[in-house]
Amino acid sequence: MSPHDAMTDAAPRSALETAPDTPAAGDAALAARLRAPLTVGGRTVPGRLWLAPMAGLGHAAFREVVEGYGGCGLLFTGMCNARAVPTERPEKSEAFSWRAGEPPRLVCQLFGAEPEHMAEGARRVQAEGFFGVDLNMGCSVSAIVKRGCGADLLRDPERAVRMVAEVRRAVDIPVFVKFRTGWSPDPQPAVDLARRFEDAGADCPVFHPRVAPDRRTQPPRRAHIGLVRAAVSIPVMGNGDVFTPQDCASLLDDTGCDGVSLGRIAVARPWVFAAWTGMVDDDPDRNPAPWREAPLALLDALARRHGPARAVRMFGKFLVYITGNFTYGNGLRGRLLRVMGRTPGSFGADEPGGLRALQDALRTELDPLPAVLRRPSALLFGM
């Protein structure tokens, strides 16, 4: 069954008080706000709820599932190495790849240490017909930071601003900048950088209000988004711990940001864009279909693009978020990992035994649907 099919049969579950809110039915005002078009760099984006760029997760197969449900205003790739992109072969690359016809609604995120490398990568992105290019100044993974990329750029504001300016001179498409509060809790450097990014030609900051060393151990400081928004005249997207429609509405209200970029919740619930924009009812009592079908749709998309063996391995990165949807998600995750652990790594496309075993296990575990959490498991989402 495809993600577009709507099932209305109720599944018996325990702990019904944990069932999610019904944003599609209950928050028409939020849905209308999120469906409003937004102009970025002279181009129109048909919505204000976007997919956040996510390394290792935001690849073409996952984006296919997201788009199958609808409601996402703009898609982003995972991190692409700016030095490799000019000669990258999309048919061989996991990050710098896309589906036919996808680039006009897709932004390519680049990471790099040198402005000239980012500019050269951006030229290739524009030549491939992408909507825009996003400069990663937010990744705080040590392997990226040690190379002078990602959040390391926030330690060197002159290089960061020069990078925006070089990319702006290189391309005509919208230029996005994903960045953080910085390396200390003081938001003023980020506010100053936002102004300088705008002056250098950036069209839209996507701002995550955490310090760079913090890998989600502390809550994001939403007030920082408001300070960045007040400092510039270009659109600002907010990001960070937005897991429910109430989180989304309060972020918009409290900060004045122009839209919201969703990461982990989109991995757990690829239909979230459709739900919060009023296209899909994701109350599990009335419509358990998305909860059951999205993991299988993802596995299918992965298998078609990468083959059964690699699909199972790639699915492992999604598992912690998918099982975080459920009250007893840690036990569910353990059972599915055991199925995946028994999967031989040598089967070929004509012997998808491991893939079938995982598909069968998912169908068994999700029908009837386990108790669903309003807010996903903090334990699993924090891994």
Residues 330 and 196 placed together within one structural domain of the fold? no
Whether pLDDT at 370 is above 50: yes
* Domain identity same for 112 and 183: yes
Domain that includes residue 372, residue range: 289-381
In 3D space, the residue among 113, 120, 116 whose CA is nearest the CA of residue 154 turns out to be: 113
Helix axes 222-231, 245-255, angle to 10 degrees: 40
Residue 166's SS3 state is helix
Chain centroid to CA 169: how far? 28
> Do β-strands 204-211 and 38-40 pair in parallel, antiparallel, or remain unpaired?
unpaired
Model pLDDT, residue 216: 74
Choose the final residue of a domain: 233, 254, 276. 276
In a shared domain, residues 40 and 132: yes
Catalytic residue among 72, 108, 139, 257: 139
CATH code for the domain of 269 = 3.20.20.70
Q: Give mean pLDDT, residues 41-59.
A: 97
The tokens describing 377, both together, are 């498991």
pLDDT digits (tens, 9 = 90+) for 75-103: 999 999 999 999 999 999 989 999 999 99
In a domain, 281, yes or no: no
- 241 with 304, same domain: the answer is no
Within a domain: residue 16?
Answer: no
Number of domains in the chain: 2
The answer to whether residue 236 sits within a structural domain is yes
> What is the reported pLDDT for 343?
46
Cα distance between residue 13 and residue 125, in whole Å = 47
Residue corresponding to tokens 């825009």: 132
Residue 250 and residue 304 in one domain: no
Report whether pLDDT(23) > 50: no
Q: Note whether 119 and 260 are same-domain residues.
A: yes
Is pLDDT at 346 greater than 70 in this prediction?
A: no
Residues sharing a CB contact under 8 Å with residue 133, sequence separation 6 or more, in sequence order: 107, 108, 109, 110, 121, 122, 125, 126, 167, 171, 173, 174, 175, 176
72 and 110 fall within a common domain: yes
Are 146 and 230 within one domain?
yes
Among the three residues 255, 276, 297, which one is the final residue of a domain in this structure? 276
| Domain assignment of residue 22, yes or no | no
Single-letter amino acid code for the residue at 86: P
Residue 9 forms part of a structural domain: no
Q: Please indicate, yes or no, whether residues 226 and 323 belong to a single structural domain of this protein.
A: no
Cα distance between residue 99 and residue 61, in whole Å: 8
**Could you tell me if 80 and 193 lie in one domain?**
yes
Does residue 38 form part of some domain? Answer: yes
pLDDT digits (tens, 9 = 90+) for 101-134: 999 999 999 999 999 999 999 999 999 999 999 9
Q: What is the reported pLDDT for 382?
A: 78
Evaluate whether residue 4 is within a structural domain.
no
Judge if 229 and 294 occupy the same domain.
no
How many CB atoms are closer than 10 A to CB 2?
Answer: 10
Q: Is 20 domain-assigned?
A: no
Q: Measured between alpha carbons, how far is 218 from 211 in angstroms, rounded to an integer?
A: 9
Confirm whether 149 is a catalytic residue.
no
Domain C-terminal end among 251, 276, 301: 276
Q: Are residues 59 and 128 in the same domain?
A: yes
CA pseudo-torsion sign 79, 83, 85, 89: negative
